[in-house]
Structure 1
Amino acid sequence: MVRYRPNVAALILNKDGNLLICERYTVPGAWQFPQGGVDSGEALEAALFREIREEIGLEKNHYDVLESRGDYRYLYPPDVRAKKIKKHGNHGQEQTYYLCQLKDDAPPINVNQSPQEFRAYRWIHPEEFDLDWLPSFKHEVYSSVMQDFFGISLMPES
């Protein structure tokens, strides 16, 4: 039986409608949204607040959660899957995405948290998101998320 680890991810918009993306600390050129696993017994929204605080230094009073959508799933690639099954017993992740609006009085994003997940951040128009920033096993999920939340198709037309 395939098991998925619960995960939450944040789509954070600023007042100009730009979307926050963060560059992985250990993988230069890999950009993604703040996200992370849900601890045992932890509510999804509580995990969202914790992950945003841990990864980019914002408290829950610095943004509003506008909506959420879930059941986005992906499998870890085969070379990683065995390690992940050993570590937490899961073959992949099932993500719930939260669309968040940054408040005007929020402090600047701070990716210099400990432990450091990200090396940099930037704000982009949602249609500027590029699947080449991600490993291929995440392409389908990110494409679905961008379509569902922003009506943007990232997959090449066949």
Structure 2
Amino acid sequence: MQAEPYRPNAAMIFRRSDGRILVCERSKPAGAWQFPQGGIDSGETAEEAAVRESMEEIGYPPSVYEIVFSRSGYRYRYPEEAKGRIHKKRGISYIGQEQTYFMCQLQQPAPAPVIDGREFRDYKWIYPEEFDMNWLPEFKKDVYRQVLKDFFGIDA
């Protein structure tokens, strides 16, 4: 029996020169804040997906940031009520996502993100230690705790 797949995903942490990082509020549900992220398409590398998703979600072309480093292997499972989500492009049912995170250092002056309301409704710049786990659905919290520890040495 073949294991149910995790959807490959790229997530980006955008950091300004003052050390603040970008978090975006999802369009739905209100009050859910996260890092920009999105699926990796067939034939695309994680870095290519990060560049594409950065443009699509917040309007950042690669000329305004530098990828400093990345780390992969972060996984979460969808909650039971969302089990069997279909990624319509591929028609594949996924049990969760496996993410590669990219630390992206913004050029100075850092441009404001372009938020169009499709993915996100708002954004803010925070220090990493200000990230509030209550902004996340329960099933994403362990990954965010690990990312904050790995990227910033923070025990959240």
Shorter-chain TM-score tier:
over 0.9
> 1:55–1:111: 8 Å Cα contact kept in structure 2?
yes
- Ranges in structure 2 where 5+ consecutive residues have no aligned partner: none
Report the AA paired with residue 83 of structure 1: R
Corresponding residue for residue 13 of structure 1: 15
**3-state DSSP of counterpart to 2:63:** helix
Q: What are the superposed Cα offsets for residues 52-76 of structure 1, whole Å, 9 maximum, x if unpaired?
A: 0000001011100000000000111
Superposed CA RMSD = 1.4
Corresponding residue for residue 47 of structure 1: 49
Report the AA paired with residue 98 of structure 1: F
TM-superposed CA distance for 1:47, in Å, is: 0.3
* Total equivalences in the alignment: 152
TM-superposed CA distance for 1:152, in Å, is: 0.3
**3-state DSSP of counterpart to 1:89:** strand
**How many percent identity over aligned positions?**
50
Q: What are the superposed Cα offsets for residues 92-114 of structure 1, whole Å, 9 maximum, x if unpaired?
A: 1000000010101443211126x
Structure with greater helix share of residues: 1
Report the AA paired with residue 84 of structure 1: I
Which one of 132, 135, 138 corresponds to residue 136 of structure 1? Answer: 138
> 1:85–1:91: 8 Å Cα contact kept in structure 2?
no
**3-state DSSP of counterpart to 1:66:** strand
> 1:62–1:105: 8 Å Cα contact kept in structure 2?
no
Corresponding residue for residue 65 of structure 2: 63
Corresponding residue for residue 99 of structure 2: 95
Per the alignment, do residues 21 and 85 of structure 1 end up closer, same or farther by CA in structure 2, a change over 3 Å counting?
A: closer
> 2:25–2:123: 8 Å Cα contact kept in structure 1?
yes
> 2:11–2:35: 8 Å Cα contact kept in structure 1?
yes
Distance 1:107 1:138 in 2: 28
Superposition TM-score, scaled by structure 1 size: 0.92
Which one of 109, 112, 115 corresponds to residue 116 of structure 2? Answer: 112
- Ranges in structure 1 where 5+ consecutive residues have no aligned partner: none
- Structure 1 moving runs of 4+ over 4 Å: none
Superposition TM-score, scaled by structure 2 size: 0.93
